Amino acid sequence: MFVSEDLSVNEQGNLTIGGIDTTELAAQYGTPLYVMDEELIRKNLRRFHESMQKCYDGKGIVCYASKAFSCMEMCRIVASEGDGLDAVSIGEMYTALKAGFPMEKVGFHGNNKTDEELAFALDNGVGHIIVDNIPELRRLEKIAAEKGITAHIMFRIKPGIDAHTHQFVMTGQIDSKYGFALETGEAFEAVKEALSCNSVKLVGLHCHIGSQIFDIDPFEEAARVMMRFMGKIRDELGYTVPGLNLGGGFGIKYLESHDPAPFETYAERVSAVVKKECEALGMDMPYVYIEPGRSIVAPAGITLYTVGARKEIPGIRTYVSVDGGMGDNPRYILYQSEYEAVVANKASEERNEKVTIAGRCCESGDLIGENMPLQHADSGDIIAVLATGAYNYSMSSNYNRFQKPAVVFVNKGESRIAVKRETIEDVIRNDI
Ligand SMILES: *Cc1c(COP(=O)(O)O)cnc(C)c1O
């Protein structure tokens, strides 16, 4: 009935998440409110973990891409499941560190890392750094040498794949700000240089072709291209790269009409390509990493809002304004992304209106969505926007000096605060 399996409707006709009445969560914690279902997050992590282990004969590794949703509680959950974590900034690394995350399982990404961040990663025992460009390689070599440490690195490669997704989240093609191009020989030159360094050790090749991808073909193609590049490195440079990182980007169901393949299918098909290429090359299977973000957390999250004004413009549209918007969910204004919404306190009724859900920021584009099927929403009703667990809280801002909402985790009938709601004092915290 809903896009996520953990959502249901109780006897009172209210929407529930993880068995808890969402209208009670709204009353207890206030709105806007992010709600994350811990049980579903763990279930998703385990599905990825188990299929990677199975398909890669115990050499499959899951690194949760924390940029999708990062807070200390999330890091603790990933740690307790035994998975790795990707970070793209000192802030994300610090969050993991403070949460007690085993830093040797952290991968550090980014197309423009600072010296401070590289030093922080080395000082805190980050497992591997995914190097994006030659100046970064040289800076890292120098910093690691000064510290007397060997930095484990992977190279971010652009395999030259069109991932059939929104151009802002497509990252594997040659015209991309990320990584080294294969076609031009740039990637090969980088590998050569790394092999001549004293303080870095090349432990893997990495690619990430984009995000919210439904089609498995581009993932297979990327795996094939990357394996052949590993073969070329072995043949021409005599070095067998031990790890292959195939990135994230698995699509999820935002709308009823979306039909992503189950991750198990992806893992089976892509691992078959990796195995076939290994055989053809006479190579052992490398350690294979994946970096799912959205697919772990998006389906497990919802956002609760309270309806304020309702504006019916005859012959044009109906606006339903809520107490949040682009500050807590900028994905519509960034990508015109689509969501499903439900009036949480009327969840058993038909969604027989089509409305525009508007936020309260000073931008006409500050919408949660247009033409959204919804129950008749009046002032005071609670609206739940579904599948907001990824790239909502992590992309939130203080535009208009609104305070960021709280994040609540639910698990088997219990709820707890994971991130406190910002106060108006927080808004001026750094002002002099
Ligand atoms: C964003 C990103 C991911 C996660 O992507 P999802 O679409 O959220 O799965 C993984 N790896 C890298 C390098 C990324 O930039």
Which residues span the domain enclosing 341? 7-37+298-427
The residue out of 292, 317, 349 marking a domain boundary is 292
SS3 44: helix
pTM recorded for the entire structure: 0.96
Task: Give the Å distance between the CA of 379 and the centre of ligand 1.
Answer: 38
Name the DSSP letter for residue 423: -
Mean pLDDT of all residues in 318-338: 97
Cβ atoms of 283 and 242 closer than 8 Å: no
Task: Give the Å distance between the CA of 65 and the centre of ligand 1.
Answer: 6
Question: Is the Cβ atom of 156 under 6 angstroms away from ligand 1?
Answer: no
Residue 175 pLDDT exceeds 90: no
Mean pLDDT of all residues in 80-106: 98
- 270 with 127, same domain: the answer is yes
SS3 29: helix
Please choose from 211, 213, 215, 296 the residue to mutate so as to test ligand 1's pocket, defined by most ligand atoms within 8 A of CB. Answer: 211
Which helix or strand (DSSP H or E) is residue 227 part of? helix 217-237
Write down the pLDDT at residue 166. Answer: 61
> What phi, psi does 417 have (nearest 5°)?
-75, 135
Query: Residue 11: which CATH number?
Result: 2.40.37.10
Tell me the percentage of the chain whose pLDDT exceeds 70. Answer: 98
Task: Give the Å distance between the CA of 17 and the centre of ligand 1.
Answer: 26
Write down the pLDDT at residue 173. Answer: 75
362 flagged as catalytic: yes
What count of other Cβ atoms lies within 10 Å of the Cβ of residue 193? Answer: 15
Short-list 137, 240, 241, CA closest to 198: 137
| Total domains, the chain | 2
Residue 168 pLDDT exceeds 60: no
Question: Is the Cβ atom of 389 under 6 angstroms away from ligand 1?
Answer: no
Residue 257 pLDDT exceeds 60: yes
- 287 with 355, same domain: the answer is no
Residue 59 domain flag: no
SS3 159: coil
The ligand 1 atom nearest the CA atom of 88: 15
Task: Give the Å distance between the CA of 250 and the centre of ligand 1.
Answer: 9
**Mean pLDDT estimate for the chain:** 96
Q: How far apart are CA 97 and CA 101, in angstroms?
A: 6
Q: Which two tokens stand for residue 204?
A: 């893997």
Residue 2 domain flag: no
Residue 381 pLDDT exceeds 90: yes
Question: Is the Cβ atom of 62 under 6 angstroms away from ligand 1?
Answer: no
What count of other Cβ atoms lies within 10 Å of the Cβ of residue 165? Answer: 21
Residue 419 domain flag: yes
What count of other Cβ atoms lies within 10 Å of the Cβ of residue 205? Answer: 26
Question: Is the Cβ atom of 107 under 6 angstroms away from ligand 1?
Answer: no
pLDDT band of residue 274 (cuts 50, 70, 90) is very high
The ligand 1 atom nearest the CA atom of 211: 7
- 265 with 150, same domain: the answer is yes
Please choose from 67, 70, 176, 245 the residue to mutate so as to test ligand 1's pocket, defined by most ligand atoms within 8 A of CB. Answer: 67
Question: Is the Cβ atom of 208 under 6 angstroms away from ligand 1?
Answer: yes
Q: How far apart are CA 76 and CA 156, in angstroms?
A: 27
